Structure 1
């Protein structure tokens, strides 16, 4: 289920696409989720296609996308 949006957006590699496609053939609950998300994506595209996002909003989104979180764990040897 966590790959449905990546599948809809064409962001999965070929093997992952095939696995998800095969899963959808055998899983009615996932097909329902897929169809709902496909409809939602279509509605959003139609609703938002007429206006571009404001420049500031686009910049904020790109900043959040490009932020990388790095954590460092320091272990002391005794």
Structure 2
């Protein structure tokens, strides 16, 4: 593993953005190959990738729970209030 990320952080900036797209499966196969190759060579970017992947997994697990009915009703009521205020303005 090289320290590419420490030597040329500006070179990694593009990869850090692409990592998000890579995690969301929004890159074509050619771009995926480029990102994979960079991750194989750059420890700091690989660390960022692992961190982003972990955060996404935790958020995904957390999003499976439903809000209690009382909370949902209060949120919907608040949204309707704001909508009425906006349309009356």
TM-score class, shorter-chain normalisation, is 0.5 to 0.7
How many pairs align? 54
- Check if 1:29 corresponds to 2:44: yes
- Unaligned 5+ segments in structure 2 are 1-15, 77-89
Structure with the larger RCO, 1 or 2 (CA within 8 Å, 6+ apart):
2
> Structure 1: how far apart are the matches of 2:38 and 2:24?
18
- Unaligned 5+ segments in structure 1 are 57-78
1:49 is displaced (CA, Å) by 1.9
TM score, norm. by length of structure 1: 0.64
2:66 to 51, 61, 72: 51
1:47 is displaced (CA, Å) by 0.4
> Structure 2: how far apart are the matches of 1:38 and 1:7?
10
Which stretches of structure 1, 4 residues or more, deviate above 4 A after TM superposition? none
> Structure 2: how far apart are the matches of 1:26 and 1:5?
18
Structure whose alpha-carbon radius of gyration is higher: 2
